[in-house]
Amino acid sequence: MFVVGISGSPRKAGNTEFLLGEALAVSKERGFEVERLNCSELKIDFCTDCGDCSKGRPCPKEDDAARILEALQSADGIIVASPVYFGSVTAQLKAVFDRTIPLRRQGLKLKEKVGCAVAVGASRNGGQERAIETIHNWMHIHGMIVVGDNSHFGGIAVRPAYEDRIGRKTVVASANKLCDLLERTCPKGSCWGGD
Ligand SMILES: Cc1cc2nc3c(=O)[nH]c(=O)nc-3n(C[C@H](O)[C@H](O)[C@H](O)COP(=O)(O)O)c2cc1C
């Protein structure tokens, strides 16, 4: 089975990439294949609703979106992590979300994949739950199955993330819950396999 992680931070090796690494390490330890996609390394233009994907055509933009769509389509589980920016996700992550519209318009390709969310901010109550809600909205609109951390809404941390022992526990718990559900629903291997 295959778990894809997306970090929405424009900053390399920051708090979000650290926490996503911890979440993916859980999946890897449990025998899942993993791939990470860092917005800090990707070139993603905005969706302009040109309508090509509604007509069954591929997206005409030439950037890293095709790579992201391919990975998401092959995934069984998807972990999305973002810094909190003004109480929401980053613009970079929102651009990624919008560019996944072909997967919805061309056959609801993320339907029933399992997803969980992680958010990290500078303040303890800086809008992490709101950022997570935005990530969950994207997942629900793709027909995905959303899990939290067995207690609340997902991985919620404060920077510096490596010092946030309680926050890191919620990230690990969310990743474990995602893996638990995948093991229960796809006991023999990949449910999706990129089909
Ligand atoms: C434009 C901007 C807006 C931010 N807004 C918030 C916010 O609303 N709440 C919060 O707790 N932190 C906010 N922060 C702080 C970041 O969430 C925090 O620094 C986070 O750890 C960055 O993650 P990174 O290290 O992965 O880039 C903001 C930072 C920036 C640059």
pLDDT digits (tens, 9 = 90+) for 46-97: 999 999 999 999 999 999 999 999 999 999 999 999 999 999 999 999 999 9
Q: Show the domain range for 72.
A: 2-184
Q: Does residue 117 belong to any structural domain of this protein?
A: yes
Q: Does residue 113 belong to any structural domain of this protein?
A: yes
- The closest residue, in CA terms, to atom 5 on ligand 1 is 85
Q: Does residue 86 belong to any structural domain of this protein?
A: yes
Confidence of residue 194 (pLDDT cuts 50, 70, 90): very low
- Decide whether any atom of ligand 1 lies within 6 Å of the 160 Cβ: no
- Decide whether any atom of ligand 1 lies within 6 Å of the 170 Cβ: no
Looking at the CA of residue 125, tell me the nearest atom of ligand 1.
11
Q: What is the pLDDT of residues 128-141, one digit of tens each?
A: 999 999 999 999 99
End-to-end CA distance of the chain: 13
Distance 62 CA to ligand 1 centre (A): 29
Distance 122 CA to ligand 1 centre (A): 6
The residue whose CB lies within 8 Å of the most ligand 1 atoms, and thus the one to mutate among 16, 22, 84, is 84
- Contact yes or no for 132/117 (Cβ under 8 A): yes
- Decide whether any atom of ligand 1 lies within 6 Å of the 120 Cβ: yes
- Contact yes or no for 154/191 (Cβ under 8 A): no
Looking at the CA of residue 7, tell me the nearest atom of ligand 1.
26
Looking at the CA of residue 123, tell me the nearest atom of ligand 1.
11
At residue 3, does pLDDT exceed 60?
A: yes
Q: Is the peptide bond before 160 cis (omega within 30 degrees of 0)?
A: yes
Within 10 angstroms of residue 130's Cβ, the number of other Cβ atoms is 15
Looking at the CA of residue 158, tell me the nearest atom of ligand 1.
21
88 DSSP 8-state letter: B
Q: What is the pLDDT of residues 17-33, one digit of tens each?
A: 999 999 999 999 999 99
* Domain CATH number, residue 16: 3.40.50.360
Q: Report how many domains make up the chain.
A: 1
What are the start-end ranges of the H helices in the chain?
A: 15-29, 65-74, 91-99, 101-105, 128-141, 165-185
Confidence of residue 186 (pLDDT cuts 50, 70, 90): confident
Within 10 angstroms of residue 71's Cβ, the number of other Cβ atoms is 18
Which residues, including other chains, have CB under 8 Å from residue 13's CB and lie 6 or more apart?
none
Q: Does residue 190 belong to any structural domain of this protein?
A: no
Q: Does residue 189 belong to any structural domain of this protein?
A: no
- Contact yes or no for 176/23 (Cβ under 8 A): no
Looking at the CA of residue 88, tell me the nearest atom of ligand 1.
8
Q: Does residue 180 belong to any structural domain of this protein?
A: yes
Q: Does residue 153 belong to any structural domain of this protein?
A: yes
Place of tokens 């089909």: 195
Q: Does residue 133 belong to any structural domain of this protein?
A: yes
| Average pLDDT score, the chain | 96
